[in-house]
Amino acid sequence: MPDSTTSDTKLENEIRVSYKSDALDYVYKAIVLFETNDKVILSGVGKAISSVVNVAEMVKRRVKGIHQCTKLYEKEHTIKREDPQFSKKDNKEDGKKSGEDEQEENAENDMNKDTANRIIEFSTTVPCMKIILTKDEKDVDKNEVGYQKPLDDKDVNVMTPDQILKEKSYRRRYRRGRGGENRFRSSYRKNYYETSMWNNRRYEKRN
């Protein structure tokens, strides 16, 4: 099987993790893949590295007998951006524009000619991570630094894809943050205001 570390081609059993998406979405995909595959590959770039580790730990606690092998590497990435000097020049020209249509057309044509000179390219290296999760110990080298043996069965709560979806809906309903913590605080305040202590404080303030 080809190695996704040196290739940009996505494998059938590979899941590319993004830091913006919900971790349970990737856990669901991994468990579905484990139904037909013995090995699942999790990969991420840059900010997504921490998300890759989180997803791997969540999968290991929902599927028994998972061997893990973690690999770190760097990848060269080419970035194309507009030269900031041209953008400043355009802002100055916008303030000096006249109302004549011919001048505007000529300026637009000149702008199209200079499009190639506007874009600058530069290369940078970004950190990448690939985690191999497999049920077959032959797929990994136990002597590698990034190898981790399977968790004890008592630490694993086996779940099906349907159970993962239920867990996701439950977390979405009762997750903390906007609304979740506020509901707790509002209920606390409501109970506090109904006590005799609050009534005594109101009476003292009036007097």
The string of pLDDT tens digits covering residues 120-132 is 787 889 999 999 9
For residue 73, the model assigns a pLDDT of: 93
67 exposure class (CB count in 10 Å sphere: 0-12, 13-18, 19+)? buried
What is the DSSP secondary structure assignment for residue 137, as one 8-state letter?
G
| Length of the chain, in residues | 207
Between these two residues, 152 and 186, which has the higher pLDDT value?
A: 152
| Cα distance between residue 139 and residue 128, in whole Å | 21
What is the extent of the structural domain holding 183? 177-207
- Whether residue 19 is found in the same domain as residue 65: yes
Asked if residue 101 belongs to a domain, the reply is no
Give the residue-averaged pLDDT of 103-118: 58
- Whether residue 60 is found in the same domain as residue 137: yes
CA angle 155, 14, 22 (to 5 degrees): 60
* Domain count across the chain: 2
For residue 192, the model assigns a pLDDT of: 47
Rg (CA), the chain: 28
72: pLDDT strictly greater than 60: yes
pLDDT confidence of 94, banded at 50, 70, 90?
low
| Cα distance between residue 18 and residue 28, in whole Å | 15
- Whether residue 182 is found in the same domain as residue 171: no
68: pLDDT strictly greater than 50: yes
| Cα distance between residue 111 and residue 8, in whole Å | 35
Identify whether the C-beta of residue 61 lies closer than 8 Å to the C-beta of residue 157: yes
Helix H or strand E encompassing 71: strand 67-82
76: pLDDT strictly greater than 80: yes
- Whether residue 63 is found in the same domain as residue 137: yes
Identify whether the C-beta of residue 30 lies closer than 8 Å to the C-beta of residue 124: no
- Whether residue 64 is found in the same domain as residue 131: yes
| Three-state DSSP class for residue 108 | helix
User: Helices 49-60 and 23-34: crossing angle, nearest 10°?
Assistant: 50
pLDDT confidence of 2, banded at 50, 70, 90?
very low
CATH label of the domain that carries residue 151: 3.30.110.20
- Whether residue 164 is found in the same domain as residue 182: no
Identify whether the C-beta of residue 166 lies closer than 8 Å to the C-beta of residue 66: no
Asked if residue 158 belongs to a domain, the reply is yes
Between these two residues, 116 and 9, which has the higher pLDDT value?
A: 9
- Whether residue 163 is found in the same domain as residue 126: yes
pLDDT confidence of 107, banded at 50, 70, 90?
low
Strand-pair category, 119-134 with 67-82: antiparallel
| Cα distance between residue 106 and residue 84, in whole Å | 22
- Whether residue 71 is found in the same domain as residue 126: yes
Q: With a threshold of 0.85, does the pTM exceed it? A: no
Give the residue-averaged pLDDT of 135-147: 93
Alpha carbon distances (Å) from 201 to 147, 179, 204: 62, 29, 5
- Whether residue 128 is found in the same domain as residue 201: no
Identify whether the C-beta of residue 140 lies closer than 8 Å to the C-beta of residue 69: yes
